[in-house]
Amino acid sequence: EAQVTQNPRYLITVTGKKLTVTCSQNMNHEYMSWYRQDPGLGLRQIYYSMNVEVTDKGDVPEGYKVSRKEKRNFPLILESPSPNQTSLYFCATQGGFYNEQFFGPGTRLTVL
């Protein structure tokens, strides 16, 4: 079954404690993205990757890091989380530029 998985699904943490949200896809897609969703602001792209070892900043990259060492995985790293990073995070994958994006189930992060 084609799928995008994220872990953890829910996380409550404290300011400054480094965390990683994993994203994995089994669709052999080259394009992967991370978004955050906040009420009234829609989905905002954090980082995207068009291929292994290629990553680019989206609209709201500050405070986040990513890596793409292999095609199937695209982890999101918060080195020093702050309360303004409390949000719902989605990973997504896309088979080509003009194809559907498939979203993961989401990770709800709360930073105290």
8 near another protein, judged by CB under 8 A: no
**Nearer residue to another protein within complex by CB, 101 or 110:** 101
Among 34, 74, 89, 90, binds another protein (CB under 8 A): 90
Q: Examine residue 10 and tell whether it contacts another protein (CB under 8 A).
A: no
Query: What six digits make up the tokens of 4?
Result: 């995008």
Contact residues for another protein, defined by CB under 8 A = 31, 33, 35, 40-45, 48, 50, 56, 58-59, 90, 97-98, 100-101, 103-106
